[in-house]
Amino acid sequence: MSYFDLKDKVCIITGSSRGIGRAAAEAMAEAGAKVVISSRKLDACVEVAEAINQKYGEERAIAIAANISDKAALENLVTATLEKYGKIDALVCNAASNPYYGPMQGISDEQFDKILQNNILSNHWLVQFCAPHMAENDGGAIVIVSSVGGFLGSGVIGAYNISKAADMQLARNLAVDWGRKNIRVNCVCPGVVKTDFAKALWENPEQAKAIARATPLKRVGEVDDIGGVIAFLCAPASKFMSGQSLIIDGGMTITGGNI
């Protein structure tokens, strides 16, 4: 057995036209997987898929657009993947939303609903669509991208943190539901990573320096710091791991923000 070989495995990755999702797709393609690039905009997905295929000289990636707030679109994402490849071996639920930045007293019902639907319910939908097919094919791996925010309180991203804490419990429950079918479900919990999604936390140079000072590894995270861990969770190396949440934050949470 090759512990990190994903040759001919088929993986759907949401939110993979950029950021952590794209880094995960590239890491998995490098390990031999066939990756389905998905986000709201088809042209952005096509660009990433073409770049991966150009790098590896074969059809290692395809693009299928889907909005995570649209249940029918997510079902089509799964159906189209099965029509192309005939199976699904791994699912990475990476796409998420955070339409509000500020104290929870000011969040609207519509904003709160969107966070809960896109960050929790959409993951539940995708697992409902994918897991039965994995079960018919001797199992698979599911990775939900949560956040260290799920362990912390916040005065500015409270609802987002609530949704990410719920994702960890979702993974635990799904690990129980599907373990007998050899389907593993885990979370990754990134700290502050240089993505467009997290710009409000790191784009200010002084704020970025403060984050680095409070992090034992003395830097803000990069997307490939997370992508490789996601690939590991889909690979044979993690075959006896399920229901867990891996913190990938350079050590920030162990310091309490003070070093």
For 19, 121, 152, the CA distances from 209, given in Å and listed in that order, are: 21, 35, 21
Question: Does residue 101 have an active-site annotation?
Answer: no
Catalytic: which of 85, 100, 101, 160?
160
Q: Find out whether 164 and 119 touch, Cβ atoms under 8 Å.
A: yes
Q: d(Cα 125, Cα 117) in Å, to the nearest integer?
A: 10
CA distance 235 to 67: 27
3-class DSSP state of 155: coil
Helix (H, G, I), strand (E, B) or coil at 256: coil
How far does the chain reach from its first CA to its final CA, in angstroms?
A: 42
* Positions marked active-site: 160
